[in-house]
Amino acid sequence: MDINNFSIVDLFCGVGGLTHGFVNENFQVDAGIDFDKSCEYAFEKNNNSKFYHKDIIGLSADELSSFYTTDKRKILVGCAPCQPFSIYNRKGVKDGEKDSTNEKWKLLYSFSDLVDHVEPEIVSMENVPLLLKFNNGKVFDDFKTRLENKGYTVSFYIVNAQDYGVPQRRKRLILFASKHGKIDLIEKTILDRNYVTVRDAIGHLPPVEDGVSHPNDQLHRARKLSEINRKRIRATKEGGNWTDWDNSLWLECHKKESGKNFKSVYGRMKWDDVAPTMTTYCIGLSNGRFGHPEQHRAITLREAALIQSFPSNYEFISPDKEMSAGAIARQIGNAVPVGLGIAIAKSIKKHIEEIEG
């Protein structure tokens, strides 16, 4: 079996979390495609691959085919933007109810169109589990049926990234499709709940104050806190939240009965537990349980990247360009955790070994 006979293209590649998983497993990823051009530097710098700034909806099959190495066997992977299916964007929308205000899910149909015409031997798609229920399951079922009608065997799994060495709770849907039979997801790599913890991931980093970058790493910088938020984080114990505070520190929403249900906001992480799901707002103290377990601040961009299982030397910013912290947080939060990318790559590698004998 020689995985070098295969060429991979990563749709919706972002800064390369999924691609880096394949690179770790010695696959050749020839191209990544994304609508967000700000991801180009990080994707190319860390993955020895070419970034194409393209809108998937307008991408032709011929153009996609040109990104593969000639005469190599094709694998197509990707994570269509999951915001339309995210619980954070579906408040007020019941399970199975159609949300007509957001049409980003049509990107999955564009993904299907490209598979139909390019016919890679192997396909993988990663997304949020709510995709299975979105629009009464029609979006996912259409995607799966179109693959099956083209001769693919489809398998899919709901996984938690913490079971594959990622130091956060992050439930995801992973789909595989192959012209050669079923692809099985590899067994969990973390057994007996011996998860990689927040301490394991970021405990070695030097302390920094809010609003101050570490001199050796510009990504190791936390957002500057207001005076009231400094008081709030100081009043929050490890693993705690706003319910630890004296009511003089409460927001108006905390005084309402409905606000008492949102106990993760302004929360601190626990050292010896996994982190919560990293979102695109993962460096905001008020946006979730993103407070550092011990230091009086929210987590830094570097800490968020490590919790997403990016290696510590992963570069996100070109030295000659400036980028907002919010933009980098969005890139990190949107990424497929590298550890989960490795699990996907290992599953495909095992499948190739089986079909090649």
Q: Alpha carbon of 128 to those of 54, 155, 213, 227, 321: distances in Å? A: 23, 15, 33, 37, 32
3-state secondary structure 238-263: CCCCHHHCCHHHCCHHHHCCHHHHCC
Q: How far is CA 319 from CA 57, 79, 325, 330, in A?
A: 32, 28, 15, 19
Nearest to 115 by CA among 85, 158, 78, 155: 78
Catalytic-role residue among 39, 79, 82, 282: 82
Sheet with 50-53, strands from edge to edge, namely 50-53, 29-34, 6-11, 73-78, 122-127, 171-178, 153-160
Bridge partners, residue 73, by sequence: 6
DSSP letter for 168, please.
Answer: B
331 closest CA partner among 50, 13, 9: 13
Q: Which two tokens stand for residue 153?
A: 């065997």
* CB-based contacts of 321, cutoff 8 Å, min separation 6: 41
Cα→Cα distances 52→35, 44, 148, 325, Å: 8, 10, 29, 23
Closest CA to 333 of 352, 307, 355, 314: 307
To which residue do tokens 């899910």 refer?
A: 105
Q: Which residue has the tokens 């619980």?
A: 87
Q: What is the DSSP string of 287-298?
A: GSS-B-SSSSSB
- The number of angstroms, rounded, from the C-alpha of 153 to the middle of its chain's C-alpha atoms is 25
* Known catalytic residue at 39: no
Catalytic machinery residues: 82
